[in-house]
Amino acid sequence: MIIVTGGAGFIGSAFVWKLNEEGIDNILIVDHLGRGDKWKNLAGRRYYDFVHKDTFLEMVLGDRISFEVKAVVHMGACSSTTERDADYLMRNNYFYTRALAAWAVRKDVRFIYASSAATYGDGSLGFSDEDAVTLKLRPINMYGYSKHVFDLGVLRNEMQNRVAGIKFFNVYGPNEYHKEDMRSVVHKAYGQVRDTGKVRLFRSHREGYKDGEQLRDFIYVKDCVEVLWWFLNRPEANGIYNLGTGQARTWKDLARSVFAALELEPRIEYIDMPEAVRDQYQYFTEARMEKLRASGCPLAFHTLEEGIRDYVVNYLRKTDPFL
């Protein structure tokens, strides 16, 4: 059995799609569906069973998992960068992950978990995923900290040779539709063009960056699941790794790519960034990819233009936009 936590979520359900594409359906999905549309990410998927995340944690803590487990791919988390309930984030993102990792290591089960580029904070220490840098990082929001504290635990407990952590940068693509304000700007921009004919981007509030020229490392979800599949099949590949393209692009590039995919001329409007997020805003992220490349993982990613075209043409413009 392969256990995918957050299996109804964005990256988790995309990975279940990848497993199905590889002919695998012996999958246990762990998640919390709530009242939204996240369940739709599972409608076309094949899997053995679904367990609520709280029930699954009780099973882990009580050592009541009776079936053979090949791997735990732990994508479940609260991914809201604006969440203010620090206790909730620590329970959901840190303590839960710690319990699963301890169980997996004790049972000698492959454990792959989601970290985040939010751990890099303002980027002043760069974006290297080397362990010595990870120990020095200072996240600037509580979400980033809840991810970072587990990364620190991996290193301090010398688990980096027994688990694989993935620091996802800016992921976009199919199955993110339930994420509301945490959806990618690609999805938001598509909706804005459809409804108003233009895209709204934040003005820059920092010297050295023009409006719309803040930089991010955008990576397509299909590339992310290929890397997860590679890690799943190479249990000897462990440690904490970045997952981006290694090439930062501007928000303006992203908006223009959406217009190009729709075969429209760009119309971009700039608006002030809300004061509530200005102090926590990252003006530049770019994954250092040397460590993942040195591991032997093949790095053949979609360009921003290629990924957005596939997303817009083959998903967003369709009646059924899911993987």
pLDDT values of the chain reduced to their tens digit, one per residue, 323 residues: 999 999 999 999 999 999 999 999 999 999 999 999 999 999 999 999 999 999 999 999 999 999 999 999 999 999 998 899 999 999 999 999 999 999 999 999 999 999 999 999 999 999 999 999 999 999 999 999 999 999 999 999 999 999 999 999 999 999 999 999 999 999 999 999 999 999 999 999 999 999 999 999 999 999 999 999 999 999 999 999 999 999 999 999 999 999 999 999 999 999 999 998 888 888 999 999 999 999 999 989 999 999 999 999 999 999 999 99
Distance of CA 90 to the CA centre of its chain: 18
Domain range summary for the chain, segments of one domain joined by +: 2-172+218-247+284-303
Residue where the block lists tokens 């979520």: 9
Which letter does DSSP use for residue 19 in this model? H
Between CA 316 and CA 318 the distance in angstroms is 5
- CA dist 187 and 194 (Å) reads 11
Active site residue 179: yes
Identify any residues that bridge with 115 across adjacent strands, giving them in sequence order.
167
Is pTM, for the whole model, over 0.95? yes
pLDDT at 28: 98
> pLDDT value at position 190?
98
Distance between CA atoms of residues 76 and 10, nearest Å? 10
Which one of the listed residues 179, 188, 198, 291 is annotated catalytic? 179
How many beta carbons lie within 10 A of that of residue 220, not counting itself?
25
Q: What is the pLDDT of residue 112?
A: 98
Q: What is the pLDDT of residue 277?
A: 84
Q: How many angstroms separate the Cα of 308 from the Cα of each of 73, 186, 190, 227, 303? A: 26, 7, 10, 19, 8
SS3 205: coil
Report which secondary-structure segment, H or E, holds 44.
Answer: none
Q: Kindly state the tokens that stand for 140.
A: 């600037």
Backbone phi, psi, residue 184, to 5°? -65, 160
Single-letter amino acid code for the residue at 319:
T
Please answer whether residues 126 and 133 qualify as being in contact, where contact means their C-beta atoms are separated by less than 8 angstroms.
Answer: yes
Between CA 188 and CA 36 the distance in angstroms is 18
Which pLDDT score is estimated for 279?
A: 81
Q: Give exposure, 163-185, as e/b (b: 16+ Cβ within 10 Å).
A: bbbbbbbbbbbbbbbbbeeebbb
CB atoms within 10 A of CB 84: 9
What is 2-172+218-247+284-303's CATH number?
Answer: 3.40.50.720
CA distances for 230 relative to 51, 110, 137, 307, angstroms? 26, 13, 27, 20
Residue that has been written with the tokens 């093949």 in this structure: 298
Q: Which residue has the tokens 């027994």?
A: 162
Here the contacts of 121-125 (C-beta below 8 Å, separation 24 or greater) are 121/282, 122/282, 123/282, 123/283, 123/284, 123/285
Interatomic CA distance for residues 177 and 179, integer angstroms = 6
Residue 133, C-beta contacts closer than 8 angstroms, at least 6 positions apart = 125, 126
CB 262 within 8 A of CB 309: no
Output b/e per residue, 117-154; b: 16+ Cβ within 10 A: bbbbbeeeeebebeeeebeebebbbbbbbbbbbbbeeb
Q: Return the pLDDT at 1.
A: 98
229 Rama class: left (phi>0) / alpha (psi -120 to 50) / beta: alpha
- Spatial neighbors of 88 by CB under 8 A, at least 6 apart, are 78
Q: Which of 94, 96, 120, 143 is catalytic?
A: 143
What per-residue confidence (pLDDT) applies to 278? 87
